[in-house]
A and B are shown apart, each in its own frame.
Chain A
């Protein structure tokens, strides 16, 4: 059973460009979470999605950031007009949902904005 997959592993963008980060949850998992980790910090929750629904986006910046989890395909975290402060590691986690609450993490995408 493959784990949570994220791609790309490393992404370099110039200021003003768009960044698209992809996350494929574990097989059988219908709940996806995105987190951001700044250097020397713990992970910060951004958004929680189920298929075709955003459940909680309380940790998402109000501008430039969006997330989706379509019926088919991976979850996408999109950052428009990136700035240097967006440079971070972005982690995706998935869980089966229901009473099975444990979150399993992908390897992360390291975004560098130049």
Chain B
């Protein structure tokens, strides 16, 4: 079974600063995907960024980037030029992939980090 650990229950930074959220995971799988989801007060789960484990290059989406260290099983999220709208819970998630003509597996989530962007 997979586990995902987010060691920072809450973080607070000033607007425009850069912040890094940490995530580690444990798995014996070799083929898998990693995700960061954002959950604002509306509670809607929003996909922020994804990383395929077989790719060495770190994923980037505008102000969001990851530092994927496969050997260390680490997957941190960096938010640059933070904005008030980034205030939310952030969840790291793991999914193993078994392509058998169907879909992929269920997601395993960490407990989340509550990120607060101060004006």
Contact = CB atoms under 8 A, between A and B. Distances in A.
**Secondary structure dominating the interface of B:** loop
Interface stretch (A13-21, A75-83, A98-106): A98-106
Contact of B107 (A41, A43, A55): A43
A44 B109 contact: yes
B45 A42 contact: no
A43 B111 contact: no
Given A98-B102, A108-B43, 13 more contacts: A41-B111, A43-B107, A45-B107, A56-B106, A59-B106, A93-B45, A95-B104, A97-B102, A97-B103, A99-B99, A101-B95, A101-B104, A104-B47
User: Taking each of B95, B102, B106, B110, which has the highest tally of chain A beta carbons within 10 Å of its own beta carbon?
Assistant: B106
Contacts, number: 72
B106 A48 contact: yes
B33 interface: yes
16 contacts: A31-B103, A42-B110, A43-B107, A46-B106, A50-B103, A55-B102, A55-B103, A95-B104, A96-B103, A98-B102, A99-B99, A101-B103, A103-B95, A105-B47, A108-B45, A110-B43
